Amino acid sequence: MNTVSVNPIDVSNVENELVEADKALRAAEGIVIQDQSTYELAANVRKAVNAKAKELEGERKHIKEPIIEAGKRLDSLFKRPIDMCKKVIGICDQKMINYTDIQERKRKEEQDRLDRIAEKKRQELEAKADAKRAEGQEDKADRYEEKATEVLTPVAAPRVDKPAGVHYTERWYGEVKDLKALPDEYKIADESKINKVIQATKGTLPIPGVRIFSKKIVNSRG
Summarised one tens digit per residue, pLDDT across range 83-136 is 999 999 999 999 999 998 999 899 999 999 999 999 999 999 999 999 989 999
Instruction: Write down the pLDDT at residue 1.
Output: 54
Does residue 143 contact residue 109 with C-beta atoms inside 8 Å? no
Q: What is the average pLDDT across 14-37?
A: 93
Torsion sign, CA atoms 67, 68, 70, 75: positive
Angle separating helix axes 13-30 and 36-134, nearest 10 degrees: 100
The domain limits of the chain are 16-155+177-201
Output the pTM of the full model. 0.59
Torsion sign, CA atoms 17, 22, 28, 30: negative
Does residue 4 contact residue 65 with C-beta atoms inside 8 Å? no
Helices in the chain by DSSP H: which ranges? 13-30, 36-134, 138-149, 191-201
pLDDT band of 52, cuts 50, 70, 90: very high
Summarised one tens digit per residue, pLDDT across range 139-155 is 999 998 999 998 888 88
Residues 6+ apart with CB under 8 A from 95: none
Summarised one tens digit per residue, pLDDT across range 170-220 is 888 899 999 889 998 888 999 999 999 999 999 999 999 999 999 988 877
How many Å apart are CA 79 and CA 84, to the nearest integer?
9
